[in-house]
Amino acid sequence: MKKTALSEEILLTVEKPARYIGNEVNSIVKDKDKVDVRFAMCFPDVYEIGMSHLGIQILYSMLNTFEDVWCERVYSPWIDLNKVMKDLNIPLFALESQDPVKDFDFLGITLQYEMCYTNVLQVLDLSHIPLYSSDRDWSHPIVIGGGPCTYNPEPLADFFDLFYIGEGETNYRKLIDLYKTCKSNGSTRNEFLRCAAGIEGIYVPSMYTVSYNTDGTISSFEPIYDDIPRVIHKAIVMDLSDTFYPTKPIVPFIKVTQDRVVLEIQRGCIRGCRFCQAGMLYRPVRERNVDLLKSYAADMLKCTGHEEISLSSLSSSDYSSLKELVDFLVEYTGSRRLNISLPSLRIDAFSLDVMSRIQDIKKSSLTFAPEAGSQRLRDVINKGLTKEIILDGASQAFLGGWTRVKLYFMLGLPTETEDDLRGIAELSNDIARLYYELIPKSERHGRVQIVASSSFFVPKPFTPFQWAAMDSRDSFLKKAHFVNDCMHEQLNSKSIKYNYHEADVSVLEGVFARGDRRLSKVLKTAYEKGCLFDAWTETFNEQPWLDSFNECDVSIDFYTTRERSLDEILPWDMIDTGVSREFLKREWENALNGRITPNCRAACSGCGASVFGGGVCYENKA
C-alpha cells in the first residue's frame, strides 16, 4: 500500500480517516516524473461535500486526459485534523500522491458558496502558501479560482493569482501551455500573469487598480497595462454534446452527500426568476444529446457500481427529450434494482407519473418552490407559478398517494409586505385543506404533512435584484416570527411545520456576495480569530465575524441594507456574462411594477445571450 501523508496514529485519532487516504476506485495515479504540470484541484469543504461536486469531477477527469498533466484532489481537513496539522506543522497534501500541495504547479480552488471563504484561507495556510498573491514567487503554485462565486471575485482578489470566469472545459489547455512556455523561457511570474490575462475568461486581479469615492462606492476600475483587457468575457461551451464528460467518476470509500451517478442533461434555465443567479449566469440554455446521455448513463453505472442515478439541471422539466431519457432509464434500471432521482422538476401530471414509476412503493415527499406567499410577489420575482398551478400539482400528488409536501419560500424579497408573509401561512393551509377535501377519511394514513421552509433573500450579482437592499438580521427574524405566528393561526396548523434559515449566516453571505476588495482584511482577521467551516451550523460563530468587521472598520450595512443606484459602478462590472446590464435594469423595473417576463421558449426577452450564437436562442431559427 502506498505511503500516506498522515501516520496511522494520526488517522486513528480523527473522524472519518477515509477522507484523507485517497486510492478510491477510478482515482487517477500517474508517474509524477513523466508529467510537466501538476494540478491540485481543491474544494474548500470536507471530503463528503467536495466529492459530490460535479464541476470538479469534470475538470479532474478532463485535465487527466492531458498526457503532460496530473490532476489530483484536495479538500479542507475537518476541525480535528486541522488542529493536528497546525500543531505538528504537517503541510496539506493531495489525495492521489499524498505529496504537499505547495510543490504543485497549480492550486485550483472551486468557489461554490460565500461561506466557504475562510476555508480558502485554511487551504492556503495549511499548504504553507502565502495568503496574499503579492507575496508569492515561482516556488509557489499558481492559485486559481473557479465556480459561481468568481462572478464577483473581488472579496478574494488579494488571495488569488487568477480567476477562471466561465466553464472550465474551454481554456485550461491554453493556460497550461502558456505556463509551460513561460517557465521554460525564463519569464517572471508577473510576466506569466500578464500574458494569462489575455486568455478569454481569465481575470488577473493584480493587473487592475480600484479607486473609491468618499461615500465608499467605487469611482474607477482600471487595468494597469494597456494590453490588459478592460472587460473579461466569460468562457462558455456552446456544444455540450461535443465536450468532455467523466464516464468513470471516482467512487468514494465513505458515504458522501450525493452518493450517486450524476448525469448533467443541460446547462442554463429558460425561466428567468429574478432572484436566481444561476439562471442568469449560465444562459443560454444548452442541451446534451439524448442518445449521448443514454450512453453516459450506462457507462457510469457500470463503472461505479452506484445504485442511483440523478439528472442534473436547473430545471429538468424543461429538457426537451426528458420523456425519452426517463423511459430509457426506467427500462435500463428496472431489472437492475437501481434508483432514479429527478430534482428540479415542475410538479405537473407528467412529473407525477414519472415519479410514481421511479420511486419506491413508500412514496417520499414532493417539493414545491413557490418562493413567495402571494401572487403579487411571485409576479415581482417572475416565478411563473400561479396558486392554481400549485394547488393543481398538490391535488394530483395527493390523489397519487403522496402525503408529505415540502414548500420553499424566501423572506425579504423586494417590495415584500405583511400580506405577502401572511400568504405563506395561508398557502400552506390551503394545501393541507386540499388533502382533507380530496382524500376520504377511510383512505387516509394519518395527517398530511406540510413542511414549509423559508430562507432569507440574498441579492446576487448579475441578477435584476443586484441593486436591491437586503434586510437586516433583526428584520429577517421579525418576519420569520411573524410567519410562524400566522402558521399557528391556520385551521390546519397541526398539519403544518415551519422552519427558517439562520439570519446571521445570510447577512454574511450578503456581504461577500456583493462585496469588494476591502473585505479581504476582514476575511483574514476572521480566519485568524478561528472562523472556519462557516457554512456548518455546528461550527459557525457570529461574534468573531462581528469583531473582525469592527476591528477593520468595515460596515456590514454598507454591503447589505444599502440600495444601489442604477448607475453605481459595481465590483463585478468588469465581467461580461453575455446578459446585458440594460436587460437587468429592465427586469428590475419590471419587478418593481409587477410585470411578468415570459420564459425563453415562449418569447425572447432580449437578454443578450444570443451573442453566443447557439442554444435556446437559436432553436426556432432556420
Q: What is the mean pLDDT for each group of 10 consecutive residues in the chain (622 residues)?
A: 88 97 97 97 97 96 98 98 98 98 98 98 98 98 98 98 97 98 97 98 98 98 97 97 95 91 96 97 97 96 92 92 91 80 75 69 72 97 93 89 92 98 98 96 91 97 98 97 98 97 96 98 98 97 98 98 97 98 98 97 96 93 57
Report the phi/psi class of residue 462: left, alpha or beta, with left for phi > 0 and alpha for psi in -120 to 50: left
Q: SS3 breakdown of the chain: % helix, strand, coil, rounded to 5? A: 40, 15, 45
Measure the CA–CA gap between 16 and 546, rounded to whole angstroms: 32
Give the sheet arrangement for strand 496-500, strand by strand: 366-371, 404-411, 449-456, 496-500
Fold of 260-362+578-622: Transcription Regulator spoIIAA (3.30.750)
What separation in angstroms does the CA of 215 have from each of 33, 86, 212, 219, 562? 55, 41, 8, 10, 12
Q: What integer pLDDT is reported at residue 446 of this predicted model?
A: 85
* CA angle (459 as vertex; 455, 464 as ends), nearest 5: 125
Long-range interactions of 142-146: CB distance < 8 A, separation 24+: 142/105, 142/106, 142/107, 142/179, 142/192, 143/106, 143/107, 143/109, 144/106, 144/107, 144/108, 144/109, 145/108, 145/109, 145/110, 145/111, 145/120, 146/55, 146/59, 146/108, 146/109, 146/110, 146/111
Q: What integer pLDDT is reported at residue 622 of this predicted model?
A: 47
pTM, two decimals, is: 0.96
Q: In the chain, which residues fall in CATH 3.30.750.210?
A: 260-362+578-622
DSSP 539-586: T--HHHHHHHHHHTT--HHHHTTPPPPTTSBPTTTTEE-SS-HHHHHH
Residue 287 is classified by DSSP as: E
Q: What integer pLDDT is reported at residue 621 of this predicted model?
A: 67
Q: What integer pLDDT is reported at residue 620 of this predicted model?
A: 72
Q: In the chain, which residues fall in CATH 3.40.50.280?
A: 8-233
Q: In the chain, which residues fall in CATH 3.30.750.200?
A: 365-501
CATH number corresponding to 365-501: 3.30.750.200
DSSP SS3 for 210: strand
Q: What integer pLDDT is reported at residue 346 of this predicted model?
A: 78
Strand partners, 88: none
CATH number corresponding to 8-233: 3.40.50.280
Sign of CA pseudo-dihedral 436, 440, 446, 450: negative
Measure the CA–CA gap between 71 and 462, rounded to whole angstroms: 31
Q: What integer pLDDT is reported at residue 363 of this predicted model?
A: 58
